[in-house]
A and B are shown apart, each in its own frame.
Chain A
Amino acid sequence: MPEYNSWGVSYSIISFFGRALEGHDKVRSFERRNDIHFVIEHAKGRTLNVLLLDEYCLGLATVLRAKADFPDVDYVVTGGNWNGYTPEAKEYGRKNGIGIFNTGEFFGALNWSHPKRYYRKDRNGKPIYAYKNP
């Protein structure tokens, strides 16, 4: 297997994500296509099409490119809890039915009935997102 695919996602990121899926109790099974496209059968019966990227700051242009290259994808996940996304990318996802998450958020989202609506909360219950804000 090449060390990198055309999206620059390293094998270590891909294998970490795969191992975490294997250990998640809400994942019935998954299949990997085109190196970074994960088709996940959720324990509640739905199928999630996830594109795994490795972007420190996932922007709108990358989400649009992801959707053009992988039309079936309904989640774009940027690997690593240190990675995040711009508010513009998240908002585009909200309006177009695409879940935009970093890895830690995504594995939390799998526990929700509607994973795309997932958000973390602070101690006051307010949503917190992995925005790359200052």
Chain B
Amino acid sequence: MGNRSMRIRIPSGSKLYIFGSALTSARPCDLDVLVTYDPLACPPEDAYEIHRDMVLDLEGRYGLPVHLTLLTLSEESGTEFIKRTSAVEFARARGRPIHSSGLPRGGR
């Protein structure tokens, strides 16, 4: 596992959120992650590749497989994904139950 005090590198124009069992269980089996991105800064066809290092960083740091949901800003606003899943922005997720298993620290 990497140095948890280091910040996660989030591509410019994107925002990282945590949702699902990692927010409610001390022993989550995976890390559900939402990334919202601006399609003008990050073309949808390249979105997975552009966020690949960030995902690897999260997996290495927390030792959990990441289940990534990538939505454009308009897809997120149209679906209200954050509201429906009670997703929490990564940088603000400190103190949640997952914190006892090392999740998450850092963010930006």
Chain B contact residues, majority secondary structure: helix
Taking the nearest CB of chain A, how far is it from the CB of B37, in angstroms? Answer: 8
Query: Is B69 part of the contact surface with A, judged by Cβ < 8 Å?
Result: yes
The answer to whether B72 and A68 have CB atoms under 8 Å apart is: no
Tally of A-B residue pairs with Cβ under 8 A? Answer: 57
Per the bound structure, the CA–CA distance linking A45 and B99 in Å amounts to: 54
Query: Is A87 part of the contact surface with B, judged by Cβ < 8 Å?
Result: yes
Per the bound structure, the CA–CA distance linking A88 and B45 in Å amounts to: 13
The answer to whether A59 and B45 have CB atoms under 8 Å apart is: no
Per the bound structure, the CA–CA distance linking A39 and B70 in Å amounts to: 27
Q: A33-66: which have CB < 8 Å to B? A: 55-57, 59-62, 64-65
Contact of A57 among B47, B71, B83 (CB under 8 A): B71
The answer to whether A59 and B65 have CB atoms under 8 Å apart is: no
Q: A70-90: which have CB < 8 Å to B? A: 86-89
The answer to whether B30 and A61 have CB atoms under 8 Å apart is: no
Taking the nearest CB of chain B, how far is it from the CB of A63, in angstroms? Answer: 9
Cβ-closest chain B residue relative to A55: B69
Per the bound structure, the CA–CA distance linking A89 and B76 in Å amounts to: 12
The answer to whether A59 and B78 have CB atoms under 8 Å apart is: no
Query: Is A134 part of the contact surface with B, judged by Cβ < 8 Å?
Result: yes
Contact of A86 among B47, B48, B78 (CB under 8 A): B78
Cβ-closest chain A residue relative to B69: A57
Given A8-B30, A8-B65, A88-B75, also A61-B81 (CB < 8 A): no
Given A56-B85, A57-B69, also A133-B30 (CB < 8 A): no
Query: Is A117 part of the contact surface with B, judged by Cβ < 8 Å?
Result: no
Query: Is A107 part of the contact surface with B, judged by Cβ < 8 Å?
Result: no
Q: Which residues of B are in contact with A by a Cβ distance under 8 Å?
A: 30, 37, 44-45, 47-48, 65, 67, 69-72, 74-75, 78-81, 83-85
Q: Which residues of A are in contact with B by a Cβ distance under 8 Å?
A: 4, 8, 55-57, 59-62, 64-65, 68, 86-89, 131-134
